[in-house]
Amino acid sequence: MKTKRIVITGGPGTGKTALIEYLVELGYNCLPEISRAVTKKARADGIDQLFLERPILFSEMLLEGRLLQYHEARSAATAFLFYDRGMPDITAYMDYLGTSYSKKFTEICNAYLYDAVFLLPPWKEIYLQDHERYESFKEAEILYDFLLRGYRGYGYNVVHVPLETLENRANFILNKIKELT
């Protein structure tokens, strides 16, 4: 059985992590977002905003971690493996910042493809800023557009997740992925 790789993405504060945690509660295998861990490690090393101060290093660390996560599907004994963000998020964020990057990023994104991508829209009512989420809500809206264009640029048919309860969002995704089997 080949495990299907399913990305759940969106700008900051769209409910991705809560949705991933809910899917875990339902018994699905999910891999967490790694950018917060990278950011916290950088802070411990004295770099307050690695993403802003050294965006290429930050992005390389993310790419390495997400590539490792991608390969976890090979040993997963499950029909679906969910990812809190995928590799194309990295180039979308760098495009948003206007950061130049090497072809390595796009080559990897083109070589290691996911089976489905679900994009969560900005949601003002649930949006919160914190120490790792520095973007304003307006910036989150702009990032949403960069994510949409970024994934489409890699050939994905992006599925938009409605602004609904956690349960309804999960059911929406689970019903859509049944079409992959």
What pLDDT sits at residue 41?
A: 80
What pLDDT sits at residue 132?
A: 52
Angstrom distance (rounded) from CA 15 to CA 169: 10
SS3 154: coil
Looking at domain 4-175, its CATH class is alpha beta
Indicate the pTM of the whole model. 0.89
**CA dihedral of residues 171, 181, 161, 40 (deg, nearest 10):** 90
Half-sphere exposure of 171 (CA within 13 A, CB side): 6
Q: How many residues does the chain have?
A: 181
Mind listing the pLDDT tens digit for each residue in 9-60? 998 778 888 899 999 999 999 998 888 777 888 788 877 777 777 778 889 9
Angle at 17 between CA 44 and CA 126, to 5 degrees: 105
**pLDDT at 1 > cutoff 90:** no
Residue 111: in which H helix or E strand, if any? helix 103-111
What pLDDT sits at residue 134?
A: 62
